[in-house]
């Protein structure tokens, strides 16, 4: 088990035992959307509370199965960010739909972890109840569809379906944010060829004709000749942005 999965499991079990000993503490830590202005801390604390043994058992079992692989892939800091972002979004999405409900549970946070698992290992088979096989991607899709159906009146079970949907949404947004700030994306942007600004076709052609072929590699020399022949046949406008960029690069030497 990875470090943060272990810590989160321990925190949830410890809180569960604390609430069993002092139920009044749970009233202060549970999330009630209508009371958010006076109890802002509950958007975080609610995800460490559970309504019963089955509730905490399901959430912690899911965290135990999916969490280590995701934490190993993302690293500890991003794993915690994913977990908390998913849980907080679960609370936020509950505000307009269930403003007076008392919401507890790590389900939103765990659903974000499950989404991350399905994203990185979409075809990994999951065995529901240890018997029914389903690929991770289909499991998330079906759980989303069920939560939408149940949340909008399909089932009145007291389950915080919008917190589940918020967990998926929070996980999705956090992973997108990770992609946006990743070094790989920035490197790819820098490596992309930026088309040169539009030039007068005649002036550009004169510049390209003055390219010193003896100063460039034979492979590039052949490509320059090919492009100049293309211009002779079809005109400057026939060049693609990448072809113009190549000629500009050699003309600027």
Give catalytic residues, as residue numbers.
Answer: 107, 164
Distance, CA of 168 to CA of 174 (rounded, Å): 10
C-alpha distances (whole Å) from 128 to each of 9, 52, 62, 141 are: 21, 21, 11, 15
Distance, CA of 89 to CA of 109 (rounded, Å): 9
φ and ψ at residue 96, rounded to 5 degrees: -75, -20
Task: Tell me which residue of 123, 152, 151 sits closest to 139, measured CA to CA.
Answer: 123
Locus of tokens 């390209």: 208
Distance, CA of 171 to CA of 162 (rounded, Å): 14
């Amino acid at each position: 088990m990875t470090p943060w999965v272990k810590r989160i499991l321990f925190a949830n079990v410890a809180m569960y035992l604390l609430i069993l000993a002092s139920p009044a503490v749970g009233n202060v830590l549970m999330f009630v959307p209508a009371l958010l202005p006076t109890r802002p801390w509950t958007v975080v604390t609610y995800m460490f509370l559970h309504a019963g043994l089955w509730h905490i058992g399901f959430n912690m079992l899911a965290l135990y199965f999916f969490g280590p692989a995701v934490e190993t892939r993302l690293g500890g800091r991003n794993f915690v960010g994913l977990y908390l972002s998913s849980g907080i979004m679960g609370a936020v999405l509950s505000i307009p739909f269930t403003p007076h409900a008392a919401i507890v549970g790590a389900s939103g946070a765990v659903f974000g972890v499950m989404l991350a698992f399905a994203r990185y290992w979409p075809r990994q088979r999951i065995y529901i109840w240890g018997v029914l096989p389903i690929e991770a991607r289909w499991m998330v899709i079906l759980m989303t569809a069920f939560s939408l159906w149940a949340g909008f009146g399909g089932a009145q079970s007291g389950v915080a379906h919008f917190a589940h949907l918020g967990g998926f949404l929070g996980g999705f947004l956090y992973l997108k944010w990770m992609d946006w700030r990743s070094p790989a994306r920035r490197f790819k942007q820098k490596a992309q060829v930026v088309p040169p600004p539009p030039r007068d076709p005649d002036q550009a052609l004169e510049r390209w004709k003055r390219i010193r072929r003896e100063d460039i590699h034979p492979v590039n020399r052949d490509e320059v000749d090919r492009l100049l022949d293309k211009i002779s046949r079809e005109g400057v406008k026939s060049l693609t942005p990448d072809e113009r960029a190549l000629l500009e690069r050699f003309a600027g030497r």
